[in-house]
Amino acid sequence: MQQQQAGGSETEVTWGDQQNINQFGRLNNRFHDLEEEIKAAKESNENLEDAGNELILTDEEVVRFQIGEVFAHVPRDEVETRIEEMKELTTKNLERLEQEKVSILSQMAELKKVLYAKFGDSINLEED
């Protein structure tokens, strides 16, 4: 957890500073949530890859495909299509998440510059 100690005895903390600190906190929280989501999306993609590979190897015509809480007998071609669609969705989602992560990291870097410039050693914005 990051520590935010602001204000040496000389430096005043303005409402603007406080808002910057708050914003940094929010971005950091979002960053950690994003890392979790990205990890989950990558796992999901891997599982879909594995499922696709299994499908190629099997010679069954009808596959048990999970829909919700049940398994349904689904013809092989349809399963292939479904897996492709799911992979596309997950990949698009993953791209979106990665982009958001890049944006957040750059916003955090900006805020670090501003806050360190004003508060120097009085503030710590690093993960410990």
Partner 1 sequence: MASSTAGATERRGIPGAQFVEDVETYLTQSGLDVNSALSFLQERLQQYRVVEMKLLAQQRDLQAKIPDIEKCLDVVATLQSKKGTGEASIDESDSVCLWLGANVMLEYSCEEATALLQKNLENAKASLEVLIADLQFLRDQVTITQVTVARIYNWDVHQRRLRQATGAAKDP
**Least distance between partner 1 and beta carbon 9 (Å):** 3
Using the Cα atoms of residue 73, residue 74, residue 76 and residue 79 in order, give the sign of their dihedral: negative
Helical pair 15-57 and 76-119, crossing angle rounded to 10 deg: 160
**Positions in the binding site for partner 1 (CB under 8 A):** 4-9, 12-16, 18-19, 21-23, 25-26, 29, 67-70, 72-73, 75
Nearer of residues 59 and 69 to partner 1, judged by Cβ: 69
**Least distance between partner 1 and beta carbon 14 (Å):** 8
Angstrom distances, CA of residue 120 to CA of 19, 68, 109:
17, 53, 15
- Residue 85 CA, chain-centre distance (Å), reads 21
Nearer of residues 49 and 85 to partner 1, judged by Cβ: 85
Nearer of residues 53 and 62 to partner 1, judged by Cβ: 62
Nearer of residues 40 and 55 to partner 1, judged by Cβ: 40
**Least distance between partner 1 and beta carbon 18 (Å):** 6
**Least distance between partner 1 and beta carbon 99 (Å):** 20
Q: Which two tokens stand for residue 31?
A: 């960053």
| Residue 123 CB neighbours (<10 A) | 21
